[in-house]
Structure 1
Amino acid sequence: MRIGLFATCLGDTLFPDAVRATALLLTRLGHELVFPPDQTCCGQMHVNTGYQREPVPLVRNFAEQFGDRSIDAVVMPSGSCAGCVRHQHQTVADRYGDPALRAGVATVKDKTYELSEFLVDIAGTEDVGAYFPHRVTYHPTCHSLRMLEVGDKPLRLLRAVEGIDLVELPEADTCCGFGGTFAVKNAATSSAMLADKLHHVTSTGAAVCTAGDSSCLMHIGGGLSRIRSGTRTLHLAQILAATRTAPYPLTEAAR
């Protein structure tokens, strides 16, 4: 398939390794990648904070960058951004856009997928040939779990990874407390929610906590670092991209 890869803001500025891993994985599976160089933010931050008119130019740009009919699917290593494109872009276009924008959004949203749902539902694969001989626990992010309803697709992909010791995360479906600008506007509540999540992560004895969103991993990873837990965070794509011939190196503290 010919896939349009959306990097996301966090991927572009803070977590490029997750984007590179996504590209490596999809290429290894035989897909042709297209990376529109003029892609920008999807506008999720604006919409989630209540500013629905302001992201119209961002929504329009996304539709223009990925609306090429030769692109069979748009894939991104982010459940929250995929949820924004699939659900919130239509709301913005309907309220503040023109007919061309509404048509463009409708075309693109129907072929947009978060990484795990693309692999399982569209590519039809669960075993991607990954090798990751470490103890791992998985945090299902709110947007992927509730908006996209990806279900156990990330776990099915992880269970097929050679060498992995996958352990269940207690109260996994509880929010980590990030929520984008929620963590800034409601810092005390966010920190309390994070403390609960850190307790559950460290109770697993996992070397790695993984998820499908770099934003949640940033929040959880910061907390794990501050308490010197020895557990690190990695995006799901980075685990799935690792192989026997190109393993992912963990630090000694996380082994």
Structure 2
Amino acid sequence: MNSEQNNDINQGKSANSSRRKFLQKASAGVALTTIPAKSVWASGGGILNSIAASNHGSGWTNGCMYLLSHGYWKQQGETESKSVLFTTAFGVNSYPEIQAEKLASSSVASADTKGDYQWNGFGELEKCIEENDRGTKTYHWESVDGITKSNITLHGAMTNESIFANVFVQICAMYLNAEYGNSSPNVYGLHFPVYGTGKPFASLSEFATWLYNNATSNKGESFGSALSSLIAGNHVGTSTCQDY
């Protein structure tokens, strides 16, 4: 066996090892889809310590993670977040799920559905609006920012965080963190080299699929909270983490 073959084998082992470590350390408290591993996603500190701290130096992060929240990506990062459709980013034909408490129980506009949201038969996001004309109340469905199942961007999902389930807002932010934080330095101050040779995921699309599968699992709510804590504990500019 020549030296090039040896190098290829070693790189493959390194990638598999990094992926195994990441998945094992990113999964307790949340039953992550297709990952039967012990979990430590219970809190922000647990996530930080298990992913960043224990993988520093020779690990896949090669230092601390620095992430940005959905608040940044929907404002300062508006251009970037508007450039990607939700369906394109996550490789699905689906769309963000409406918060259970805000999902209309009926497609009939009425006092019972006032203030609720739905996707109509044309794939448009609508809200039930009440109007009062001289004491007579009427109800109708009104489009929300022209959002449809086919045109909603990552920005659209994050901007409407009061409508969509939190986990979908968080996976949008994590997707952008991975896309723009995979190489350093960068203009965002990010450091999140989660995909590539020797990394937990082979590609951005593989990471995106992992995010989406867990977001739509029966532990999606907990997964969303875990991602939120991960970002808060490692945010650019406020992270207390020191470089390793």
Do Structure 1 and Structure 2 share a fold, with TM-score over 0.5? no
**Coarse TM-score class (shorter-chain normalised):** under 0.3
The TM-score, its normalising length taken from structure 1, stands at 0.24
Is the helix fraction higher in 1 or 2?
1
The TM-score, its normalising length taken from structure 2, stands at 0.25
Q: Which has the larger radius of gyration?
A: 2
